[in-house]
């Protein structure tokens, strides 16, 4: 069934791969971007561009209420291109702000717009050090220090906002380390928790189909993070084969 979908982070690595699949399925898609210059690219994909800064809560709410989405997909990040190590400290801080303040604004806007489902991006390497493999019930590393503490704090804020939002089915996808087009890395050879960007996009479609609230590890086969819940409840395939309803 065709639905109206609002994608926050539409021009990011995952959003870019996800939008054509949503359009091909017949959905009416709105794509949020901070840059009006990216609107033509979205239009060319059959996506209605929404040029609004996620930190402008009033403008975001107005835009989402105008779109009236059934589903909101949160793929917002703010990391340096190619994960440039020289820029990562500032990137981690910006990304944590998007996960905390930006997510709060997305949740509030989704609620105001009457959305029924919110699917949000998180990460699968924020677990506290312990005996693996880590499941979704394993604790996050809330005692982390330095930049990791900032990153994990942002993750915790994002997940709490999404999972505890009244009137919304909140689904959190804890992605592995992305590789593939637009990610800055074409190979998974150096990834402890590999996840092809198309696999991440496919996981969003699986989540939309399943409508199961909660947290799900989305990673290809590895020795550190368990994905059996996502396999069982979403139909996730950890072998790296991209498939979705």
Domains of the chain by start residue, with CATH = 4-234 (3.40.50.720)
- pTM summary value: 0.95
Say what the pLDDT of residue 80 is: 60
- Report yes or no: 206 and 231 within 8 Å, Cβ to Cβ: no
Paired strand residues for 71 = 5, 117
The pLDDT profile of the chain, 245 residues, written as one tens digit per residue, is 899 999 999 999 999 999 999 999 999 999 999 999 999 999 999 999 999 999 999 999 999 999 999 999 999 998 766 666 666 788 889 999 999 999 999 999 999 999 999 999 999 999 999 988 999 999 999 999 999 999 999 999 999 999 999 999 999 999 999 999 988 887 888 899 999 999 999 999 999 999 999 999 999 999 999 999 999 999 999 986 777 67
Q: Output the furthest CA–CA distance in the chain (Å, rounded).
A: 48
What tokens does 30 get?
């709105």
DSSP E strand stretches across 128-185: 169-175, 177-179
Say what the pLDDT of residue 36 is: 92
Say what the pLDDT of residue 187 is: 85
Say what the pLDDT of residue 195 is: 96
Is the peptide bond between 133 and the residue preceding it cis, with omega within 30 degrees of 0? yes
Say what the pLDDT of residue 176 is: 97
Taking the C-alpha atoms of residue 143 and residue 14, their distance in angstroms, rounded to an integer, is 30
Say what the pLDDT of residue 210 is: 96
């Amino acid at each position: 069934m065709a639905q109206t979908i609002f994608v926050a982070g539409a021009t990011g690595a995952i959003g870019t791969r996800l939008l054509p699949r949503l359009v091909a399925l017949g959905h009416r898609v709105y794509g949020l971007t901070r840059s009006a210059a990216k609107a033509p690219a979205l239009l060319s994909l059959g996506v209605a561009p929404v040029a609004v800064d996620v930190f402008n809560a009033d403008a975001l709410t107005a835009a989402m209420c105008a779109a009236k989405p059934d589903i909101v997909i949160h793929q917002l990040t703010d990391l340096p291109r190619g994960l440039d190590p020289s820029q990562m400290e500032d990137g981690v801080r910006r990304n944590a702000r998007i996960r905390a303040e930006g997510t709060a604004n997305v949740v509030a806007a989704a609620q105001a717009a009457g959305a029924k489902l919110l699917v949000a991006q998180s990460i699968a390497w924020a677990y506290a050090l312990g005996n693996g493999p880590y499941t979704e019930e394993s604790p996050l590393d809330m005692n982390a220090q330095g930049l990791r503490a900032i990153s994990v704090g942002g993750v915790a804020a994002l997940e709490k906002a999404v999972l505890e939002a009244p009137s919304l089915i909140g689904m959190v996808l804890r992605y592995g380390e992305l590789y593939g087009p637009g990610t800055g890395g074409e190979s998974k050879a150096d990834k402890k928790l590999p996840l092809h960007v198309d696999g991440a996009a496919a996981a969003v479609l699986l989540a939309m189909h399943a409508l199961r609230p909660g947290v799900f590890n989305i990673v290809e086969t590895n020795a550190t993070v368990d994905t059996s819940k996502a396999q069982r409840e979403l139909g996730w395939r950890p072998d790296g084969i991209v498939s979705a309803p």
